Amino acid sequence: KDNPILILKIATIVVAVLAIFHQDLTIIANDALQSEVMSYVLIIPFLFIYLIYRKRKMLNQVIYLENKNQPKKIKHLSTIMGILLFTIAILLYWHGSYTFTPLEYHMFALPIFTAGVTLLLFNPQTLRQLAFPIAFLLLLMPPPSEIIYTLGSTLSLISSEASYKIISAIGIPS
C-alpha cells in the first residue's frame, strides 16, 4: 500500500540512523573493503534488507495495530520504553566517543537506537517482528583483535596437526 505516513515513518528511521551513525558506518565500510577480517560486513546490509523482506507479510499485519482497550497505566508504556531505549543508545554513543574503542560502543548502540526509534514510531508488535533483523545489526561491530589472533593461531595449529595426521595415516613420511 502507498501509505504516506508509513513511508514517512520508515524514512525517519533510516534518516535518523544515517544522521547519527554515518561516520561510523563509513569507517566500517572502509575497513570491510581493506581487511579480510571485516569483509563479511559488506553483505550485512543486503541480509538485513532480506530479513525484513521475509517478514513483510507479518509486518503488514502488525504495523497498523493499535491497542485502544489498554488500561491507562500501560497505554503509553511502549512510548516510554522507546524513549528509554533511544536515550540509552544516545548515552552509550556519547560515552563511547570518550573511550579508546569508540567504534565498538557506537556499533553496539546502533541496534538499541534502531529498536527505540522503531518502538517510538510504531508499536511493540512491530518491534517484536523486527527483533531479529535489528539484533542482526550487532554483526557490524568489529571483532576484537585479540580474539581474531587467538582464533587464527588456533586454527593454524589445528589444520597443520590434521594435515600431519592424515599424511602419516596414509604412510607418507613427513
> pLDDT digit string (tens) for 129-156?
999 999 999 998 887 778 888 988 999 9
**Exposure b/e, 8-45, CB count within 10 A at least 16 = b:** ebeeebeebbeebbeebbeebeeebeeeeebeebeebe
Residue 120 φ/ψ, nearest 5 degrees: -65, -40
93-99 contacts at long range (C-beta below 8 A, 24 or more positions apart): 93/20
Q: Kindly report the pTM of this predicted structure.
A: 0.81
Distance CA 129, CA 54 (A): 10
pLDDT in tens, 110-134: 999 999 999 999 989 999 999 999 9
How far, in Å, CA of 128 to CA of 115, rounded?
10
